[in-house]
Amino acid sequence: MAQPLLRLIAPAALGLLAPLAPVGASAAELNLEGINRYASGHATDGLSADQVTSINQFSDVQPTEWAYQALSNLIERYGCVAGYPDGTFRGKQALSRWEAAALLNACLDRITEVTDELRRLLKEFEAELAVLKGRVDGLEAKVGELEANQFSTTTKLSGQATFVVGANAFGGSATSLRDAARQEVGATTFTYDLQLSFDTSFTGKDLLRTILRAGNFGSSAFGGAGPTGSLSTLEVAFQEDAGADVVGIDKLFYQFPIGSGFTATVGGRVGQEDMLALWPSVYPSDTILNVLTLNGAPAAYNKNLGPGAGLWWQNGGFSVSASYVAANGNAGNPSEGGIGTNASAGTGTVQIGYAQDQWAVAAIYSYIQSGVGVSGTTPLAAQAFENAAARTNAVGLSGYWQPSSSSWVPSISAGWGINSTSNDGQEVDGDVRTSQSWMVGLEWSDVFVKGNALGMAVGQPIFATALEGSDSPNDGNVVWEWWYEFQVTDNISVTPALFYLSRPLGQATPSGDTFNQLGGLVKTTFRF
């Protein structure tokens, strides 16, 4: 330790302090008493009795001086330099070799004191240091074992398992509809959804995402069965086309940056929402009905899933996203699918958004071909997306605001959508020409207990507003939901929820009759 310190001190003491006295100078000429007093920091002949603790205390030492850093180290690290009462150092004043030697000795004495103190502390805490060393060695061994047995150096695995226990009740004066619905989907059900996500990065900036999924919602009202269809579908509901309890690839896509601010996405099974730079809603933190998670514009935000590609740009709070997804893009027969054919079941989307810390707003346009699965429609409005010749231009405007901290003021998310449908010149009276939708969602955080949340939303799923011919539709339907999330642990939550559909069949409700649906459920979510 002494050798490195000497390298620091010697230049500062011997080189920085100006011209040296002749080697053969006499003791009388050297003023040894003054030297000793200077080295020990005592006041004499104008020297200060106070030890300098900062180089800034010297009025005549500037950062531009060539020895500034060396002097700073001597003062602040070792505390062995004294100044003059007038606050000066007088670095350009001549100093003899004897005086420099005395200064060097004072600094070495200080270093010796520090070294001795360090040795004493090491001896005093010898047992504790030995324990810490043992713990570090143990941690190193465990880390080595984990690295040797890890799943992958490039892939992170996460998962989510959801249990849903619930039932639906049907009411209204339409007796035959009510009884048929009860018979079809009136039982209490226990359903599940399982998702395993593999996130792989090769450069640290890219993402290859693979999601495996299984579930058994297909024959439940929570999965879209029954007369109300997708209106009562939960956001978490899933069942592979091959049947219940079958594991399938839900998503597979690759995302990577291009230049400054651009991100590209391409995949054999990618969702429209995966290619949006901004999702303009903070409702809800715990999802219930799927239709109320689509920003008030279920047609524009239809989450079409299939082969696709997209590109977005972000700069500051601004973002622009463009994407194309073809649900039937893997089919080789042009009459059944492919990319860019009439049978592609494609969605082309452009979104412009702006976001700040507490709020965001976005405008979206989607061109929708026939065959695209649009959630949250009345039976009449659904015809606009099922007709083989149908083409829909969907526009949405959505946004949110959230408080900076938890309080009685909730976050607010809202959205509205309007859709215009044409049938390639094959329109007939009664076809849907325009449809609309809207929603407002409120969420309170840290309700009753920190970590818990309360939420509610109301809106109208897609309903027809204008038909070909002179008919005026009566297709309105209001959806409500209420929920409370208990955060049991960091990884487990339990959410009881209720929802109500005032007129789920819209215009298909028999004239003069009423028909409604009330759903109740308890959702338990495990994240790992």
Res. 12: pLDDT tops 70: no
The answer to whether the beta carbons of residues 291 and 461 sit under 8 Å apart is yes
Q: Indicate the range of 45-54, 120-129, 485-494 predicted with least confidence.
A: 45-54
Q: Closest Cα partner for 444 from 244, 322, 284?
A: 284
Identify whether residues 61 and 179 lie together within a single domain. no
Q: Which amino acid is at 20?
A: L
Identify whether residues 117 and 181 lie together within a single domain. no
What are residue 396's DSSP bridge partners?
A: 364, 417
| Side-chain half-sphere CA neighbours of 62 within 13 A | 3
Buried-state track 382-397, b at ≥16 Cβ within 10 A, e below 16: bbbbebeebbbebbbb
pLDDT tens column, 159-213 = 999 999 999 999 999 999 999 999 999 999 999 999 999 999 999 999 999 999 9
Spatial distance between the Cα atoms of 434 and 214, rounded to a whole number of angstroms: 36
Cα distance from N-terminal residue to C-terminal residue, the chain: 50
437-459 average pLDDT score: 96
Residue with tokens 């715990």: 286
Question: What average pLDDT does the structure give for the chain?
Answer: 87
Residue with tokens 């325009």: 434
The answer to whether the beta carbons of residues 236 and 523 sit under 8 Å apart is yes
Spatial distance between the Cα atoms of 108 and 240, rounded to a whole number of angstroms: 78
Identify whether residues 440 and 303 lie together within a single domain. yes
Spatial distance between the Cα atoms of 229 and 505, rounded to a whole number of angstroms: 9
The full DSSP string for 277-308 is S-------SS--BGGGGSTT-TTTT---EEEE
Identify whether residues 179 and 308 lie together within a single domain. yes
pLDDT tens column, 237-261 = 999 999 999 999 999 999 999 988 9
SS3 234: strand
Identify whether residues 85 and 177 lie together within a single domain. no
Identify whether residues 79 and 175 lie together within a single domain. no
Residue 444 lies in a domain: yes
Res. 6: pLDDT tops 70: no
Residue 175 lies in a domain: yes
Identify whether residues 448 and 382 lie together within a single domain. yes
The CA-based angle 443-446-447, given to 5 degrees, is: 75
Q: Pick the residue with more confidence: 305 or 29?
A: 305
Residue 142 lies in a domain: no
Residue 195 lies in a domain: no
SS3 518: strand
Identify whether residues 402 and 491 lie together within a single domain. yes
Residue 278 lies in a domain: yes
Res. 467: pLDDT tops 50: yes
Spatial distance between the Cα atoms of 422 and 406, rounded to a whole number of angstroms: 47
429-434 average pLDDT score: 90
Residue 166 lies in a domain: no
The proportion of the chain whose per-residue pLDDT surpasses 70, expressed as a percent, equals 90
Burial (CB count <10 Å: 0-12, 13-18, 19+), residue 97: middle
337-359 average pLDDT score: 96
The dihedral through the CA atoms of 277, 281, 287, 289 has a sign that is negative
The proportion of the chain whose per-residue pLDDT surpasses 90, expressed as a percent, equals 65
500-518 average pLDDT score: 96
Per-residue pLDDT at 50: 55
Per-residue pLDDT at 278: 97
Measured CA to CA in angstroms, residue 268 lies from 210, 236, 347, 369 at distances of: 11, 22, 15, 19
Spatial distance between the Cα atoms of 93 and 380, rounded to a whole number of angstroms: 98
Res. 46: pLDDT tops 90: no
Q: Indicate the range of 152-156, 218-222, 503-507 predicted with least confidence.
A: 152-156
pLDDT tens column, 280-311 = 999 998 999 999 999 999 999 999 999 999 99
Q: Which amino acid is at 455?
A: G
Number of domains in the chain: 2
Q: Pick the residue with more confidence: 150 or 398?
A: 398
Identify whether residues 79 and 178 lie together within a single domain. no
Picking from 126, 161, 194, the residue at the C-terminal end of a domain is 126
* Structure token pair of residue 124: 């005093």
Residue 213 lies in a domain: no
Per-residue pLDDT at 13: 42
Residue 85 lies in a domain: yes
Res. 18: pLDDT tops 60: no
Spatial distance between the Cα atoms of 120 and 130, rounded to a whole number of angstroms: 16
Domain that holds residue 104: 2-126
Pairing of strands 516-527, 492-501: antiparallel
Res. 397: pLDDT tops 90: yes
Identify whether residues 113 and 181 lie together within a single domain. no
The answer to whether the beta carbons of residues 358 and 410 sit under 8 Å apart is no
CATH number at residue 286: 2.40.160
Identify whether residues 121 and 175 lie together within a single domain. no
Identify whether residues 69 and 181 lie together within a single domain. no
Spatial distance between the Cα atoms of 417 and 54, rounded to a whole number of angstroms: 67
Q: Pick the residue with more confidence: 384 or 148?
A: 384
Spatial distance between the Cα atoms of 522 and 165, rounded to a whole number of angstroms: 5
Picking from 59, 94, 126, the residue at the C-terminal end of a domain is 126
Contacts of 202 by beta carbon, 8 Å cutoff, 6+ apart: 154, 208
Res. 51: pLDDT tops 80: no
